[in-house]
Amino acid sequence: MKTVLITGASSGIGSELAVIFAEQKYQPIIVARRKSMLDLVAQEISSRFAIDPFIISLDLSKPDSAECLMDHIEKENLHVDILVNNAGFGDFGDFHQEDIGKMERMMTLNMLTLTKLSRLIAPKMIENGFGHIINIASTAAFQPVPNFAVYAATKAYVMQFSEAIAYELKPLGVHVTTVCPGATRSEFQERSGMGKFDKVFRKAPMSFFVAKFAFEAMLKKKTLAIYGSNNRFLTFMQRFSPRKLTIKVAAKMMKD
């Protein structure tokens, strides 16, 4: 049975991916801070598919968390066929008023831990001649976003980093897929301080549909997968728009 390591698997896209992979007979290794939430995900998977996920409760926003996670995996004699770097969070607000500690944790989780896990796991995938890495970015990666400056910048990093290693690793048997969802109905809205955007998130797709899209993009070995026809159109049109205009439009959307 192939295994899939999913970070941020306690809710939202991560938990839905854990269920989807289990349904397809993958052994999930689910990781997040909140063990109680991981237990609920594991119970659902066990009851529906008779597969017991491995649960690792760990705060991935700490600088050494990637190494700690790999220690857990090695002690359990587990291998990772598929890595899903899903864990991440945003922080909506004025940059000059952002909490520096929270900002640092966001950058560590969204970029550093993702990069380190990819680096630590890829060599074994290459050795086995098979592997897939799914990195969850965002449509925010395609332009600077005022009032969401650090988050958008971290996702731009994820996208460019992922596309670069996809080129490097493909000849070695490892495929990398970057998934860019837009607004998605999950805990993200509340955790990022975007409560006033109820209308936007009310119309947004549920996490299940984004997770299913990510899984199918992996099967198709896509390098970049943008969820939703509107999102694909908007990101395409940005290529023909002046940079200053795209920033102004993004700022207006975040203010409305």
Residues that are catalytic: 151
**Bridge partners of residue 179, in order along the sequence:** 136, 225
Distance CA 172, CA 92 (A): 39
Which H, E and C letters describe 166-232, residue by residue?
HHHHHHHCEEEEEEECCCCECCHHHHCCCHHHHHHHHCCCEHHHHHHHHHHHHHCCCCEEECCHHHH
Strand partners, 4: 28, 82
DSSP-derived letter for residue 113 is: I
DSSP 63: T
Strands in 174-180's sheet, in edge-to-edge order, are 54-57, 27-32, 3-7, 82-85, 131-136, 174-180, 224-226
Distance CA 30, CA 6 (A): 5
Pairing of the two strands 54-57 and 82-85: unpaired
CA torsion sign for 223, 180, 26, 24 is negative
| The token pair that represents 48 in the structure block | 């529906």
